Chain A
């Protein structure tokens, strides 16, 4: 217990704050229906109402409670980004480790495929694919995950290569171990820290990407609350010096910055441990 207490004490103040913020987002996301004063899609007042006791952040373009939308938006966004990110890591991570452990033609083929996918700007490719495949939640998740997995593939392959070059992997291969054992027992435990850090960074990118798609109107479809489209819906209000479009924007920014702080700390701590 003292070790845990000491570990907590050694966390820098900013990182502590960031951890609390990230935890706060997760709690809000999980318990959205309990926390939110109104329903996600219920019209509760006039459109673009100013903040009041009943509606602390006012109402949106259809008269829905802004605070409730924001809270449900957290749930949608975090869940969507998390699912997408996990899927992307499964694809990119497994293929990356396969390429490193098996090597040879498989490495070459996978590498060139990923290069080709990375050659086209992500947003344009995503818009194109959504236009072709239609806009559903599954399609959205798959497209973003596959596009993102190319970067994860690169990183995983690079860090795995460093491990594969070690004698203990050669020893396992000489013993006759298969590819799956080598990946799960020899390579993966040695690359979890850089992968975890990358998970945090990619989470931010995915989050911003989904927000971007939402802002362009091809992300989560209404009436589901999504911070990107919420910015767009109330964007015109900024000219009347009303803060409505800024709330979701700030929510996006704070989460992204906080996650980055946590990731930096994880990386720094690991560097210190290996040095």
Chain B
């Protein structure tokens, strides 16, 4: 795996310090980071949000985001000191070093065709002949395994899928033939099946063209597939650095061991009750007459976790909205304890609303920034149970302790003064305040860092055991499913592909789509992607016999 180093060091960063702030208040967020990158080498930067990985990635291009400034150290690219030589910096940025952002949809101008945006830098900045660049970009499209590489450039950004757009953006970054590309979480917004395609295409092209890269991600399993070396960051400091194999197999620091060994959590108890508390009976639903859910039936028993898995567009969130009464089904009904619920939450009596609570994906937007913790949790208590004064406060304190937050510290705080994990705990406490039977968890861990997410899952599991709660767990992450589900419902394009107990779903034989999802989930092994691609290649060959792929 270790790349040869024919040309010596391409990028050298020494003692890099970056500050964030405004006016007279600046605070250091990157504390003296050093790294070396050889030509043709791929370095993985990994860490939680706030670790400074994106900030360092941008600084490698001599750039600091608005609100940030590089306060010390040196960034030397190809013997050019990017922090001192402003003229050279301008020449190098975008041509010799390029950047691939997380959201391709936000990085493209929706008004121009893809090809025009891909050739812009070489044609305008490097004064190359247009026809020559177009040809090179089409070649890149082919390397990236984009369908119809000669025609896809004539489309607009909204006319291609998310995974395709991400590959087009990588092609755009490569079109000026840079020596270094910074990839900032390029697959985080993609589904697992799409992620595999993008990872494979990017890796192959980078290696073929001999470019160096910095690959930034919070997902160690993904970085392990892409990087020769890995640097683990925390709070703007380097925790550990080493070859990918070494970091995965013999992590030196406790923090890295946690990252590598995460997801060891497994559900601790088995539900015993047998009565169905929630039944979704042949429901079809959609928006503006366009069906999104078709003939979906599920059943959840008391104390059970039903995980609904699927990729974006599979209708899993729509199912949650129908159960909550936010979307009226076109057909079918939802039953609570055998009694049909009214289709809209506006018609449902207070007792039924209380029984079904929801925890949202983004804790940031699910909490009113102007209300203190005491009011956020206290309101459901007053609303449903008429609790007031000291009795309400006592119960609020009890709920906070239940989600492992110290009431004396947090009672008077506002959401802005809480971390992401604390906010999600608060959302759980708010749901618990209603003393519900069912909690709909809509991607509750996907906005959180892996270690924090694990803590939340543990908490949810303990609460379920104590209170016999039923969870409808909406997620795209199979690792989460295997951690906490009792029953799994696999959805695709608005239909249920397969459902059954976790053991049934996770043990072979699989439905083909479930198999695809399972195999596409990255594992903490350096050769996971290689093996997967080999397997799929072999399967394709055995299926199609001697017929070669049409486009290659």
Q: Which chain A residues have a beta carbon within 8 Å of chain B's beta carbons? A: 166-168, 170-171, 173-177, 185-186, 189-190, 272, 275
User: Quick one: which of A173, A176, A185 contacts B350, CB cutoff 8 A?
Assistant: A176
User: Quick one: which of B353, B365, B367, B379 contacts A174, CB cutoff 8 A?
Assistant: B353
- A272 vs B324: C-alpha distance in the bound complex, in angstroms? 38
- A272 vs B21: C-alpha distance in the bound complex, in angstroms? 11
Shortest B382–chain A CB gap in Å is 11
Q: B365, A175: Cβ atoms under 8 Å? A: no
Identify the stretch in B284-292, B368-376, B396-404, B490-498 within 8 Å (CB) of chain A at 4 or more residues: B368-376
Residues of the B chain whose Cβ atoms lie less than 8 Å from the Cβ of A171:
358, 360, 366, 430
Q: B368, A175: Cβ atoms under 8 Å? A: no
Residues of the A chain whose Cβ atoms lie less than 8 Å from the Cβ of B67:
275
Q: A166, B383: Cβ atoms under 8 Å? A: no
B55-67 CB contact bits vs A (8 Å, 1 = yes)? 0000000000001
Residue of A nearest to B415 (CB): A168
Shortest B65–chain A CB gap in Å is 12
Shortest A18–chain B CB gap in Å is 21
User: Quick one: which of B325, B357, B362 contacts A167, CB cutoff 8 A?
Assistant: B362
User: Quick one: which of B360, B367, B380 contacts A175, CB cutoff 8 A?
Assistant: B380
Q: A167, B371: Cβ atoms under 8 Å? A: no
Q: Looking at B324, B325, B345, B348, which has the most chain A CB atoms within 10 Å of its CB? A: B345
Residues of the B chain whose Cβ atoms lie less than 8 Å from the Cβ of A167:
360, 362, 365-366
**CB within 8 Å for A189 and B353 given contacts A174-B326, A175-B383, A177-B383:** no
Residues of the B chain whose Cβ atoms lie less than 8 Å from the Cβ of A170:
326, 360
Q: B350, A189: Cβ atoms under 8 Å? A: no
Shortest A194–chain B CB gap in Å is 14
Q: Looking at A166, A167, A170, A173, which has the most chain B CB atoms within 10 Å of its CB? A: A167
Q: A190, B358: Cβ atoms under 8 Å? A: no
Residue of A nearest to B351 (CB): A176
Q: B345, A185: Cβ atoms under 8 Å? A: no
B22 CB–A CB distance under 8 Å: yes
B434 CB–A CB distance under 8 Å: yes
Residue of B nearest to A168 (CB): B368
- A123 vs B283: C-alpha distance in the bound complex, in angstroms? 57
Q: A175, B434: Cβ atoms under 8 Å? A: yes
Residue of A nearest to B348 (CB): A176
Shortest A98–chain B CB gap in Å is 16
Residues of the A chain whose Cβ atoms lie less than 8 Å from the Cβ of B369:
190
B320-349 CB contact bits vs A (8 Å, 1 = yes)? 000011100000000000000000010010
**CB within 8 Å for A189 and B380 given contacts A173-B345, A175-B353:** no
A-B contact pairs, 18 of them (CB 8 A): A166-B366, A167-B360, A167-B365, A167-B366, A173-B345, A174-B324, A174-B326, A174-B353, A174-B357, A174-B358, A175-B379, A175-B434, A177-B383, A185-B371, A185-B379, A189-B371, A190-B368, A190-B370
Q: B324, A189: Cβ atoms under 8 Å? A: no
Residues of the B chain whose Cβ atoms lie less than 8 Å from the Cβ of A174:
324-326, 345, 353, 357-358
- A117 vs B528: C-alpha distance in the bound complex, in angstroms? 66
User: Quick one: which of A186, A272, A275 contacts B368, CB cutoff 8 A?
Assistant: A186
User: Quick one: which of B345, B350, B366 contacts A168, CB cutoff 8 A?
Assistant: B366
Q: B383, A168: Cβ atoms under 8 Å? A: no
- A197 vs B416: C-alpha distance in the bound complex, in angstroms? 23
Q: B383, A189: Cβ atoms under 8 Å? A: no
- A185 vs B383: C-alpha distance in the bound complex, in angstroms? 13
Q: B365, A166: Cβ atoms under 8 Å? A: yes
Residue of A nearest to B67 (CB): A275
**CB within 8 Å for A272 and B22 given contacts A166-B365, A171-B430:** yes
- A125 vs B370: C-alpha distance in the bound complex, in angstroms? 40
Residues of the A chain whose Cβ atoms lie less than 8 Å from the Cβ of B22:
272, 275
- A176 vs B351: C-alpha distance in the bound complex, in angstroms? 10
- A243 vs B142: C-alpha distance in the bound complex, in angstroms? 80
- A177 vs B383: C-alpha distance in the bound complex, in angstroms? 8
Residues of the B chain whose Cβ atoms lie less than 8 Å from the Cβ of A168:
365-368
Residue of A nearest to B427 (CB): A171
Residues of the A chain whose Cβ atoms lie less than 8 Å from the Cβ of B380:
175
Shortest A142–chain B CB gap in Å is 33
- A84 vs B362: C-alpha distance in the bound complex, in angstroms? 41
- A176 vs B358: C-alpha distance in the bound complex, in angstroms? 13
- A185 vs B449: C-alpha distance in the bound complex, in angstroms? 31
Residue of A nearest to B433 (CB): A175
- A167 vs B359: C-alpha distance in the bound complex, in angstroms? 10
- A167 vs B365: C-alpha distance in the bound complex, in angstroms? 5
**CB within 8 Å for A189 and B358 given contacts A174-B326, A174-B353, A272-B22:** no
Shortest A273–chain B CB gap in Å is 10
Shortest A79–chain B CB gap in Å is 32
Residue of B nearest to A186 (CB): B368
Residues of the B chain whose Cβ atoms lie less than 8 Å from the Cβ of A176:
345, 348, 350, 353-354, 383
- A217 vs B459: C-alpha distance in the bound complex, in angstroms? 72
Residues of the A chain whose Cβ atoms lie less than 8 Å from the Cβ of B383:
175-177
- A171 vs B324: C-alpha distance in the bound complex, in angstroms? 10
Residues of the B chain whose Cβ atoms lie less than 8 Å from the Cβ of A185:
368, 371, 379
Residues of the A chain whose Cβ atoms lie less than 8 Å from the Cβ of B325:
174
- A167 vs B367: C-alpha distance in the bound complex, in angstroms? 7
List 18 additional contacts besides A175-B353, A189-B368; criterion CB under 8 Å.
A166-B365, A167-B360, A168-B365, A168-B366, A170-B360, A171-B358, A171-B360, A171-B366, A174-B324, A174-B353, A175-B380, A176-B348, A176-B354, A185-B379, A190-B368, A190-B369, A190-B370, A275-B67
